[in-house]
Amino acid sequence: MSLLFRAALAAVAFGSSLALAPAAGAAPVPGDAGKAVTFPFPANAPVAVQVTGVGAARERLSAMLKAALPDEAKELDKQIDEALKQVLADRKLTAVPKDGRVFVVVNDIASLFEGEPAFAVLVPVSSYKEFKATFLTADERKTLGEGKGVDEVKLSLMGAEHTVHMVDLKEYVAVTPDKGTADLYAGKFARATTAAMPAELARSFVGSDLAVYLNADAINNKYAEQIKGFKMLIDFGLQQAEMGGMLPGINKKQLAAAKVMLGGAFQALEDCRGVVLGAEFRPEGLNLRLQAQFADDTASAAVLKAERPGALADIGKLPAGLGQYAGTKFGKKFHDMMKGLNPEFAPADDDENGNAALEKHLTALHAAGPQGEVSGSGGAGANFTAAKYTDAKKAVAALTGCYEAMAAGGRLHSAVLKGAPKITKDARKHGAFTFTEVRVAFDFEATVKDLPEGLKENTIAQLKRALTEQMTLWIGTDGQTVIQVTAKDFDAAAAAVDAFLDPKKPVGETDGFKLTRKQLPADANALVLAETGQLVTVLLDSLKAMQDTVPGFPRLGKVQPLKGEPTFIGIAVTLKDAATLNVFIPGEALAAGKKIVTRLLTNVE
């Protein structure tokens, strides 16, 4: 079975409902997830893809395109309609309701990589009889062979003929290339229902315009041995990398912590009940959601239950004009789980005293009771962080100790230090704050010496955007808030402190920030709002790094920076009943991204 046919078959099912045909005999559209909605596919299906109310979804997509690309939306809609007409050819769609929900269901993941793929497209219909009479072409109806519960027909798709099997499910028709899958749908099977799904996942699955549901219960039951074997393979690979020094920039402590995290990831997979990846077309932009939920009384569920997400409102007090804004608020269990993966401080592996001292100070910092923090970054030499601790003075002492533990050859922010940081305690006072001054010098050449030759230059360029080779930062507290600020001099640092404590032009009052923040969850454990132009620049730099390391990769030309009011792409992580990642891309950012891609393609060398 060719990949082309798989794609074409899914396109036909999706396009059938998208097309602007008159609705006939409405198939039931599942409503609120709390009302025990029953789906037309088996409860033990490992993967299900659905398009919710696709008639409305098409309208929402058009509305989003019109808001993001007002000058091009009409043409894009026309292109979509033309593409659908080409795929559907002379088929009539009167039997396919506009408001019906389409499903593509995989019954056996392994079959996608070997043999006949065991998947089915479930098309909503007013009746099976009308579907056969209108959707199938006259020539296809001549090939129709009716069987006991399973019909066989030869469909002409994208210039090729394919044998498929169809099963009447009353409100739906199951269309599949696999006879065994067709027999499954023709027989009796327990249907999937939102009542059996984890509640948060059910709401996300039926509430998205387009969603994929991974049934972890079914996957763990069927593929437990394969998952175990994959874990053993990853463990072996990490051990070989550790012995051979194949992971430059990662010290032994971080590698050990990574192994613990890997074990936690596989534990999470074992504890997981399901995962949903969904997309929502909003007038304001595109929202993507990745969500996982875990079985009660498991280690993973215990981590989530201990979390208390918040509004992280202080992020809006940061001054406008920075490229990235972030806020975090995690509980003790999550901090314990992440301990050792801190990329900020990394003494050299052979610096036993430094590693012991750092461990001591990180433990003290954790004991100071972190209550959350917000930060803003304006590039090299312009960074600001404000954090709350139960004991702010102990937190400052612990942070200062972390810098004292560093020596030449160690890594700070992943960059190699030329020498030990120069620390002056109680160096400055500003208002109620007393600041310790820390001066550091980086060796960018030493940082990239173990990288492949093609990556060195690009990596140094990225380092210079985030750091200066000679950097000064100040750490201080007024007894309540701990502030860390990097600036060209103390006057600039003091100005940043004043801008946060008494904001005159905070980012929270800018239109771009307000729009994105409103589209993200009200409460979160982590928030990141990245200015579109800067984020795209970082991504382009990553692509440019590939042109020197990947044979045949196109040479990317220079792209001019974006103009106009800043827009922000937002990311939110919420740990509560489920672990949820939301990514929101505003319409203005979609338009800006399109301009950059267009310019990029015209500048390819």
Contacts of 56 (CB under 8 A, 6+ apart): 99
pLDDT tier at 24, thresholds 50, 70, 90: very low
Looking at residue 82, its pLDDT comes to 77
Q: How many CB atoms lie within 10 A of CB 66?
A: 17
Q: Average the pLDDT over 460-478 and give the result.
A: 90
| pLDDT tens readout for residues 302-315 | 989 999 999 999 99
Looking at residue 27, its pLDDT comes to 32
- Collapsing DSSP to helix, strand or coil, 457 comes out as helix
| pLDDT tens readout for residues 501-525 | 998 899 999 999 999 999 999 999 9
Sign of CA dihedral 391, 397, 401, 402: positive
pLDDT tier at 341, thresholds 50, 70, 90: low
Residue in the block written with tokens 């009716």: 146
145 pLDDT higher than 70 = yes
- Judged on CB neighbours under 10 Å (0-12, 13-18, 19+), 487 is buried
Looking at residue 125, its pLDDT comes to 93
| pLDDT tens readout for residues 215-273 | 999 998 887 777 777 777 777 776 666 655 555 555 566 666 666 667 767 778 889 99
Residue in the block written with tokens 């998205």: 208
595 pLDDT higher than 90 = no
- Judged on CB neighbours under 10 Å (0-12, 13-18, 19+), 205 is buried
Say if residues 30 and 194 touch (Cβ distance below 8 Å): yes
Contacts of 552 (CB under 8 A, 6+ apart): none
DSSP secondary structure code for residue 151 in this structure: E
Residue in the block written with tokens 């985030």: 466
Which segment of 11-15, 129-133, 156-160 scores lowest on mean pLDDT?
11-15
Q: Average the pLDDT over 451-465 and give the result.
A: 81
* Neighbouring C-alpha atoms within 13 Å toward the C-beta of 349: 12
Decide which of 252 and 497 is more confident.
497
Cα three-residue angle 279-283-287, rounded to 5 degrees: 25
Which segment of 362-366, 462-466, 477-481 scores lowest on mean pLDDT?
462-466
Rounded (10°) CA dihedral 526, 527, 532, 535: -20
pLDDT tier at 593, thresholds 50, 70, 90: confident
321 pLDDT higher than 80 = yes
Say if residues 87 and 18 touch (Cβ distance below 8 Å): no
pLDDT tier at 580, thresholds 50, 70, 90: very high
Q: Average the pLDDT over 543-569 and give the result.
A: 72
Contacts of 105 (CB under 8 A, 6+ apart): 41, 42, 45, 47, 48, 49, 119, 120, 122
Looking at residue 439, its pLDDT comes to 97
Looking at residue 250, its pLDDT comes to 58
Q: Average the pLDDT over 270-298 and give the result.
A: 94
What rounded mean pLDDT belongs to the chain? 84
Sign of CA dihedral 409, 410, 416, 419: negative
Six token digits for residue 517: 């923040």
365-377 burial by CB neighbour count: b if 16+ within 10 A, else e? beebebebbbbbb
Q: Average the pLDDT over 529-535 and give the result.
A: 87
> How far apart are the C-alpha atoms of 345 and 257, rounded to whole Å?
14
Which segment of 85-89, 354-358, 449-453 scores lowest on mean pLDDT?
85-89
| pLDDT tens readout for residues 387-438 | 999 999 999 999 999 999 999 999 998 899 999 999 999 999 999 999 999 9
Looking at residue 11, its pLDDT comes to 37
Q: Average the pLDDT over 310-338 and give the result.
A: 88
Strand partners, 375: 326, 385
> How far apart are the C-alpha atoms of 594 and 23, rounded to whole Å?
34
